[in-house]
Chains A and B, each alone.
Chain A
Amino acid sequence: MAAEGHAIDALGQFQLHTVGSFVGASVNFTQANLMMVLAAGVVLAVLHYGARPRAVVPGRLQALAELSYNFIYQMCTDQIGEEGKRFFPLVFALFFFILIGNLVGVWPYAFTFTSHIATTLALAALVMVLTTTVALRLHGWKFFSYFVPSGVPKVLLPLLVPIEILSYLSRLVSLSVRLFANMMAGHVMLEVFGAFIVMLAAAGVFWAPAALSFAVDVALIGFEILVAALQAYVFAVLTCIYLHDAVHLH
């Protein structure tokens, strides 16, 4: 369990097991895959049933679907400009997949699929490959002028260009590790404080220390919900900023 002997098993919660007996085991369908299917299903269901009643004055579900559409559409056109409309479906899918995935993971006994570096690395690699391809498609060889900032004395260029190239490549690392570390650290904190509750209740005669740890755990769940939404927003905004760089090349 979480608290055994003198060590707290903080990282065991991230281990993947196959779900769905022998059918799931044959294709290696783990709880991470199950949560991804659930997150995609929730987003699709909200959009499908939200867009059906085409009332001029929307009810609650239709308002939810329209608000979410408008939020991402505003973000895309504000950040990227008029060409942002082409990238709206991708940014919408990324934002809501990550948002619902992060939020569902806060539920007890559910799993946060973004707490694995493999998943977040795949999402960040998608964004990086897309932005580089878009930039190369739109600008051809002029894409490499992105690494030579304007107004720089020629003497500094041999130093500055490798730094610019490195910082471009490090976008992949920072985008993936930001989401992964936030989710993993949040759930490790929840597990550690949960283990404290058990250990404190077993060790002492008075219930107050365990109740204190419980209160901190409750506050941490609220914080985890905030971080879930914030990290999804930051991933989407950074995707829009990188697409702006790719489209406008500065």
Chain B
Amino acid sequence: MDLASAKQIGAGLAVIGLAGAGVGIGNIFAALVSSIARNPSARDNVFGLAILGFALTEAVALYALVIAFIILFV
């Protein structure tokens, strides 16, 4: 197998890790929606925490993407 094909396959394998991050982000916003549904006045308190949690989880997804880019282009 030549190097270019191995790079493509490696990059494809690396992005499988994004699935876990997708589940995590869905969890965060499911918790946000159900907490606002139970107590609509808590919206201002909880929304900032949800955005912070979303950004932290998305960061893990992007670590996997960066590894994929490194495999593919470097």
Contact = CB atoms under 8 A, between A and B. Distances in A.
Task: Across the A-B interface, give the 5 residue pairs with the lowest CB-CB distance, nearest first.
Answer: A181-B62, A178-B59, A234-B55, A181-B66, A11-B73
Nearest to B52: A237
Interface of A: 10-11, 174, 177-178, 180-182, 184-185, 188, 230-231, 233-234, 237-238
B65 A181 contact: yes
A181 B59 contact: yes
A192 to B, nearest CB: 11
Interface in B47-64: 48, 51-52, 54-56, 58-59, 62-63
Given A11-B73, A230-B51, A234-B56, A177 B65 contact: no
Interface string B30-74: 000000000000000000100110111011001101100100010
Given A10-B73, A11-B73, A181 B52 contact: no
Sorting the interface of chain B by its residue count into under 10, 10 to 19, 20 to 34 or 35 or more gives 10 to 19
Contacts, number: 41
Given A178-B62, A180-B66, A184-B66, 11 more contacts: A11-B69, A177-B62, A177-B66, A181-B62, A181-B66, A182-B58, A185-B62, A185-B69, A234-B51, A234-B56, A237-B48
B52 A185 contact: no
A230 B59 contact: no
B72 to A, nearest CB: 9
A10 B52 CA distance: 29
